């Protein structure tokens, strides 16, 4: 059973938390004790006597104010698929939370209040979806009950958003008329929108295509641990353990060890304690090679004819996550999967306006929540793909050398 990771985004009070609560509630993913606690804490009760929003608003401040502050993650499953949902805050000052939550998601659900239509936050979150190369966008036009389930209102908002999607080159956009509060068109079809011929939101989420053709993906495997028991029984055993990031690896494949740029062949593949002929995306594996090569944690094993970039200077888009400002010349650690290197900000080229995607010149230091294009230089070569080609090997984080805090989300160009 595969896993769909998606994020909900929208303005404050558009009903993101209520929508997630409705998905959990109607798909029977809430335990009895959770339901009892929910009934006691509910203020804004629906017809079932519960406030579904507080299922995701876990912080006390969130419940008191009725808003979402931090990204909340929830897990649920149906017979067809497992889901990991990120509930992102709607406030402008929490843009960084939205970006970090979306960077790991395969799909974004953008909620629009049927009474408000497309507003500034809708455009901002759509721009972030475009920036993060989201392949699937769901536009959930919520609170249809407050506009008498009007087909005209739905079509008008759909037309508004189609202009936004066209400008941002968003593809695979799907539209749903819903009421998270009442449950219309979320898990069950609503009789109140008999003019709507599409599927329910959950049915779409269960069936949307998310997996790339693994044969077409560039194979990437990063070593996380070198297994060298050196016991009498396993005297010559040397395996390289990790997870297949993308693509397929087969016994006998010609591979290159990076960044050393040494060629060899796969002699054996193990997974789950058994020898197998091949492994594919997201599978943990132990790979053995024919030659005695010095391979360490963080090194990549890639197909010789499908290699990534290996450079120590590159351009990237950085979302700044720290209250301490970003300056040219600042030094950080850059963590890329299992590999951590020293890095320096060689140049800050321009700022990206998250409201318009326009490039603006740098006139002052980069502040919290701002998005900039930079040129980074690392102490030794980094093995990577561009973020557009592969989210898995095209992203990294910047870490403060003194506090060890994560200060920047990096999308490599």
What tens digit of pLDDT does each residue of 305-362 get?
999 999 999 999 998 888 999 999 999 999 999 899 999 999 999 998 877 778 899 8
Joined together, the tokens standing for residue 152 give: 């005209």
Tell me the average pLDDT of the chain.
85
- Decide which of 146 and 33 is more confident: 146
Q: Which region holds residue 203: left if phi is over 0, alpha if psi is between -120 and 50, else beta?
A: alpha
Can you tell me the mean pLDDT for 252-263? 95
Cα separation, 23 vs 185, whole angstroms: 11
CATH 3.40.50.300 spans which residues of the chain? 3-207
Residues with Cβ within 8 Å of 11's Cβ and at least 6 positions away in sequence, in order, are 90, 111, 113, 116, 119, 121, 122
Largest CA distance in the chain: 77
Span 220-303: which CATH code? 2.40.30.10
DSSP string, 190-233: -GGGTT--S--HHHHHHH------TTTSPPEEEEEEEE----ST
Q: What is the pLDDT of residue 128?
A: 83
pLDDT digits over 129-183, tens only?
Answer: 888 888 899 999 999 999 999 999 999 999 999 999 998 889 899 999 999 888 8
Separation of alpha carbons 303 and 308, rounded Å: 9
pLDDT score, position 340: 94
- Give the CATH H-level superfamily of domain 309-412: Translation factors (2.40.30.10)
| 210, burial (CB in 10 Å: exposed 0-12, middle 13-18, buried 19+) | middle
Q: What's the CATH fold of domain 3-207?
A: Rossmann fold (3.40.50)
Strand pairing class (3-9; 107-113)? parallel
| CB 397 within 8 Å of CB 404 | no
Say yes or no to pLDDT of 68 above 50.
no
Residue 215 binned pLDDT confidence (cut-offs 50, 70, 90): low
Smallest CA-to-CA distance from 183 within 221, 145, 214 is with 145
pLDDT, position 307:
93
DSSP 8-state symbol, 2? -
Residue 38 predicted with pLDDT over 60: no
Q: What does 283-313 look like in DSSP terms, one character per residue?
A: -EEEEEESS-----TT-EEEETTS--EEEEE
Supply the pTM of this predicted model. Answer: 0.79
Q: Which residues pair with 37 in a beta bridge?
A: none
The closest alpha carbon to 21, from 203, 140, 148, 187, belongs to 187
Q: How confident is the model at residue 111 (pLDDT cuts 50, 70, 90)?
A: very high
Instruction: Say which residue, 97 or 369, is predicted with more confidence.
Output: 369
pLDDT higher than threshold 80 for residue 108: yes
Q: What is the pLDDT of residue 59?
A: 39
| pLDDT at 76 (0 to 100) | 84
CA 168, 129, 282, 78 dihedral sign is negative
Location of each CATH 2.40.30.10 domain in the chain: 220-303, 309-412
- pLDDT, tens digit (0-9, with 9 covering 90-100), for 371-408: 899 999 999 999 999 988 888 899 999 999 999 998 99
Residues 7 and 16 sit within 8 Å (Cβ to Cβ): no
Residue 63 has pLDDT above 50, yes or no: no
């Amino acid at each position: 059973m595969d896993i769909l990771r998606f994020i909900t985004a929208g303005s404050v009070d558009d009903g993101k938390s209520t929508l997630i609560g409705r998905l959990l509630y109607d798909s029977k993913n809430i335990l009895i004790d959770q339901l009892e606690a929910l009934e006691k804490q509910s203020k804004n009760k629906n017809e079932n006597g519960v406030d579904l929003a507080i299922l995701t608003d876990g912080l006390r401040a969130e419940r008191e104010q009725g808003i979402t502050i931090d990204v909340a993650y929830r897990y649920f499953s149906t017979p067809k698929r497992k889901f990991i949902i990120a509930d992102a805050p709607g406030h402008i000052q929490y843009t960084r939370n939205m970006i970090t939550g979306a960077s790991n998601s395969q799909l974004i659900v953008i909620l629009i209040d049927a009474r408000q239509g497309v507003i500034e936050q809708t455009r901002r979150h759509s721009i972030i979806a475009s920036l993060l190369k989201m392949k699937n966008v769901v536009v959930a036009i919520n609170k249809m009950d407050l506009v008498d389930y009007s087909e005209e209102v739905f079509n008008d908002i759909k037309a508004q958003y189609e202009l936004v999607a066209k400008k941002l080159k968003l593809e695979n956009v799907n539209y749903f008329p819903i009421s998270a509060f009442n449950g219309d068109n979320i898990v069950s079809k609503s009789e109140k929108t008999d003019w709507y011929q599409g599927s329910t939101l959950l049915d779409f989420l269960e069936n949307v295509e998310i997996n790339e053709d693994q044969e077409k993906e560039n194979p990437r495997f990063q070593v996380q641990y070198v297994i060298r028991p050196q016991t009498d029984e396993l005297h010559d055993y040397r395996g390289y353990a990790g997870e297949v990031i993308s693509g397929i690896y087969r016994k006998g494949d010609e591979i290159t060890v990076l960044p050393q740029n040494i060629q060899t062949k796969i002699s054996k593949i193990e997974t789950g304690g058994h020898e197998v002929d091949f492994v594919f995306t997201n599978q943990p594996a132990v790979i053995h090679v024919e030659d005695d090569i010095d391979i360490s944690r963080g090194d990549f094993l890639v197909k010789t004819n499908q290699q990534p970039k290996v450079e120590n200077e590159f351009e990237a888009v950085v979302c700044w996550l720290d209250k301490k400002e970003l300056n040219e010349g600042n030094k950080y650690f850059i963590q890329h999967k299992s590999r951590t290197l020293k890095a320096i900000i060689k140049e800050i080229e321009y700022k990206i306006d998250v409201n318009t995607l326009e490039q603006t010149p740098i006139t002052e230091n980069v502040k919290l929540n701002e998005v900039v294009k930079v040129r980074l230089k690392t102490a030794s070569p980094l093995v990577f793909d561009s973020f557009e080609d592969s989210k898995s090997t095209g992203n990294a984080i910047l870490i403060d050398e003194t506090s060890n805090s994560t200060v920047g989300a990096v999308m490599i160009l």
